Amino acid sequence: MSTTEIRVIGDPVLRTRATEVTEVTGALVRLTEDMLTTMYDAPGIGLAAPQVGVQKRIFVYDWGEGPGVVVNPRIEGSDGEWVYEEGCLSIPGLTWEILRPKEVHLVGVDLDGNEVSIEADELPARLFQHELDHLDGVLLLDHLDLDQRREARLTLSELALARPVARQPIVGASRPASPLS
Ligand code: ZN
């Protein structure tokens, strides 16, 4: 299976709200297989369709307990608070400590139309919130405070200047806080 290029910050597809999936077609199944390959190759533990340029509400994940696909996901409830150093494959090389709910209840359907209902805590809960953000056109930058955001803008503009020279491999992939998606 081939891997697809992951869209990075600056690409408008990352800022667009993805649309509901109305029918699971063969093409959509192949897309999710390709997304999983791309996610493992990155490596990351999740990948949302907009990150490969597809504006559909679907994401794939594997936080170490096997791959999964969720179609039309929603978060039905959340609880607690948890700070975690979060990265994003679409913002290569940068991570920030971000506060989000510690537990979430994720619902949706799988590729066979079966209901998905997962009570997630800590890392998987963080992963699901991150993917849902991607489906709504939200990026990590939107969760930063003013100081973090100012610093991020500087770093990102330096990266943008450097990008045409050479495509750098993703930094931080081997760090404990690897990019979520
Ligand atoms: Zn991401």
97 is catalytic: no
pLDDT tens-digit readout, 135-176 = 999 999 999 999 898 988 888 888 777 765 444 444 333 344
Strand pairing partners for 120?
Answer: 104
Residue 163 has a pLDDT of 62
Residue 1 has a pLDDT of 56
Predicted structure pTM score: 0.88
- 132 — phi, psi (to 5°)? -60, -40
The answer to whether residues 44 and 59 touch, using CB atoms and an 8 Å cutoff, is: no
Amino acid at 167: R
Residue 119 CA to residue 142 CA, distance in Å, equals 25
CA of 113 to the centre of ligand 1 (A): 25
Residue 17 CA to residue 161 CA, distance in Å, equals 28
Into which CATH architecture does domain 12-162 fall? Answer: Alpha-Beta Complex (3.90)
Q: What is the 3-state secondary structure (H, E, C) of 27-59?
A: HHHHHHHHHHHHHHHCCCCEEEHHHHCCCECEE
CA of 22 to the centre of ligand 1 (A): 24
Catalytic option among 5, 33, 81, 131: 131
Domain boundaries along the sequence of the chain: 12-162
pLDDT tens-digit readout, 65-95 = 999 999 999 999 999 999 999 999 999 989 9
Residue 111 has a pLDDT of 97
- 64 — phi, psi (to 5°)? 120, 0
CA of 165 to the centre of ligand 1 (A): 24
pLDDT tens-digit readout, 89-143 = 999 989 999 999 999 999 999 999 999 999 999 999 999 999 999 999 999 999 9
Is residue 86 helix, strand or coil?
Answer: strand
CA of 56 to the centre of ligand 1 (A): 15
